[in-house]
Amino acid sequence: MNNREIGDRIRQRRLELRLTQGDVAAAIGVAVSTVQRYEAGTIDKLKLPVLDAIARALRTTPEQLCGKTPPDRPDSRSSQEIPYRPTHRIPILGRISAGLPLYADEHIEGYTYTDLNGGAEYFALRVTGDSMNAARINDGDLLIVRRQDIVDNGDIAVVLVDDEDATVKRFYREGNTITLMPQSTNPVHQPQIYDSQRTRIRIQGRVVRNEIAY
């Protein structure tokens, strides 16, 4: 895999779609300078999750960016053409805290795109810490979250506890008892058990996808 050739294809495809480097950066959640490095081919090892994210932003496939199939052009009618799947922009929240609306500017660190739809509302959340690493949710990963205030037992949820910063845990409720269960290889993380009559628990949404950190 020649990174310089891949970078040329990324740039060519971006220009075909009339996107700026800033558009691509916002779509995949990186800095503009990182997109510049992708296009210049100066990244030593372009990991598959990165290439997949770039391909989604450019409405193509990793194989096409690697030159394994003919490039997909917007005006092409060949059988190789990739059907257009509408995407919509969602905010990346670096953190969620009480006292501010969910989408307050203070929470938003950038934007990304998702092809999830169905009338639901989504946001992305940047993971910090290792409390869910046994569930393959690691520090720096980008979670796609469906905004909802009710989840099923066992769902991985984004929860605001007693007007503190939000946490990502498996959610369980039995009567008034709520348990937020970590899944971690680090023994410092223990189950958090609350009485909902004494502690305010607000579900912000259910995690539906994890974009691996790159």
Residues tagged active-site: 131, 169
**E-strand spans in the chain?**
88-93, 108-114, 122-126, 142-147, 156-161, 166-174, 177-181, 192-195, 201-211
Q: What are 115's two structure tokens?
A: 């092809």
Q: What are 171's two structure tokens?
A: 């959610």
Residue-wise over 76-93: b if at least 16 C-beta within 10 A, else e? Answer: eeeeeeeeeeebeebbbb
User: Do the beta carbons of residue 185 and residue 130 sit within 8 Å?
Assistant: yes
Classify 115 as helix, strand or coil.
coil
Q: Cα separation of 29 and 10, whole Å?
A: 16
Q: Cα separation of 48 and 9, whole Å?
A: 16
Question: Which DSSP letter does residue 36 get?
Answer: H
Q: Cα separation of 111 and 91, whole Å?
A: 4
